Amino acid sequence: MSVEMNLTRAQFDEVMVPNYAPSAVIPVRGEGSRAWDQNGKEFIDFAGGIAVNCLGHCHPALVSALKEQGEKLWHLSNVMTNEPALELATKLVQSTFAEKVFFANSGAEANEAALKLARRYAQDKYGEDKDQIIAFTHAFHGRTFFTVSVGGQASYSDGFGPKPQGITHIPYNDIEALEALISDKTCAIMLEPLQGEGGIIDAEPEFLKAVRRLADKHNALVVFDEVQTGVGRTGELYAYMDTPIVPDILTTAKALGGGFPIAAMLTTTDIATHLKIGTHGSTYGGNPLACAVGNAVLDVVNTSEVLDGVKAREQILRDGLNAINQKYHVFSEVRGKGLLMGAVLNNQFQGKAKDFLVAAAEEGLMCLVAGANVIRFTPSLIIPEADLAEGLARFERAVASIASN
């Protein structure tokens, strides 16, 4: 027998582990690029669950896929495969460089699989001494102990005892540092083609060329973490498609399920053979429900209409943010690609990104931060232009309230 509960923000402090500090707002319903809280207050969503809700809230195609699969088959062990998983893997292979797919549930799990595969590949082919992973400062690759150690933010990885070894961090976009560090002991270079959590920092083309050239020279693998940039976020299905290089391993999650938990690691047949039977696994990876939704997401997103639309919306968002800055002079630059944009606070407003986030929520706009000095925007890839305009108007009011203090 269910019990009626009065669920409030205070309940979080009573029953949840305190590793989060959520706001007082509790959304209860969403449709498209708008959401409503318990009190009926409406929000324009420029956050998208941190680049997850790529088609907004409750997109009809995703709802339909989930309902249809929910009446067929929910779960199987990996002793058997299932049709939605086979269909989604085939679509990913047909649409990317990859020849093989491994399914997981989150970006961290996909990255964990990628790192384990890179280590196993190097050990099998070149011996146990080839174990060095080169990663980059301000990177973010997940919260498992391995992935948080590879991520370049010590504040996330310190305080949990001895870290996994063989990981070295250097500055992003620094070719000289990479040339000085890499050697025949390097098994992998892992990077985001556009750093998300680290401040919306794009990889320079010459840097990426150096990554590929040096990796090839030293028989190391290039691993692209496209958890945040993937599935249309930058205006390409995957961001690597608009760079001068192709990775050996790519990870994808977040938008792949449009809000339903799913992730994947993509790679070539040659590299994939090193994850032999029993070397890695996932109870829920390849779950029929998740894969059914993922199929619907790809069917909608991987079209010229949506991908070209992302680029058009990028320009509207960029122009709108620059227009706001012309009036209030709070940003040093607006950067990013597609609908992964960052407004970088200037010296006068250093450290106040969260203040802008809170002020935006007061005005009925959901947005994000990427560190203390960058306001991050990751709206739906198909957000109506009218919602973009309204969201920018609300954000301008938030900016005005802070700039005037």
Packing angle of the helix pair 304-328, 385-403 (nearest 10 deg): 20
How far apart CA 329 and CA 348 sit, in angstroms, is: 9
Kindly state the tokens that stand for 329. 């002079």
Q: Residue 211 and residue 249: Cα distance in Å, rounded?
A: 14
Task: Name the burial class of residue 2, with classes exposed (0-12), middle (13-18) and buried (19+) by CB atoms within 10 angstroms of its CB.
Answer: exposed
The reply to whether 403 sits in an annotated binding site is no
Q: Is residue 67 annotated as part of the catalytic site, yes or no?
A: no
Rounded-to-integer distance, Cα 140 and Cα 152, Å: 6
Count the Cβ atoms, other than its own, within 10 Å of residue 261. Answer: 18
Q: Is 225 a catalytic residue?
A: yes
136 belongs to the catalytic site = no
β-strands 34-37, 42-45 pairing: antiparallel
Strands (E), 299-372: 331-337, 340-345, 365-366, 368-369
Binding site annotation covers 282?
Answer: yes
Q: How far apart are CA 249 and CA 188, in angstroms?
A: 10
Asked if residue 54 lies in contact with residue 293, where contact means CB atoms within 8 angstroms, the answer is no
Q: Is 359 annotated as a binding residue?
A: no
Residue 137 gets the label, from left (phi > 0), alpha (psi -120 to 50) or beta, of: beta
Q: Does the annotation place 404 within a ligand binding site?
A: no
Nearest-CA neighbor of 378 among 144, 103, 194? 194
Torsion, CA 377, CA 88, CA 285, CA 16, rounded to 10: 30
Give the active site residue among 140, 260, 331, 395. Answer: 140
Q: CA-to-CA distance for 78 and 295, rounded, in angstroms?
A: 19
283 is in an annotated binding site: yes
Give residue 341's identity as a one-letter amino acid code.
M
- The active-site residue out of 225, 248, 331, 352 is 225
108 in a labelled binding site: yes
Q: Is 225 annotated for ligand binding?
A: yes
Residue 228 known to bind ligand = yes
Options 103, 136, 202, 254, the catalytic residue: 254
Residues comprising the binding site for N(2)-acetyl-L-ornithine? 143, 282
Residues comprising the binding site? 107-108, 140, 143, 225-228, 282-283
Residues comprising the binding site for pyridoxal 5'-phosphate? 107-108, 140, 225-228, 283
Active site residues: 140, 225, 254
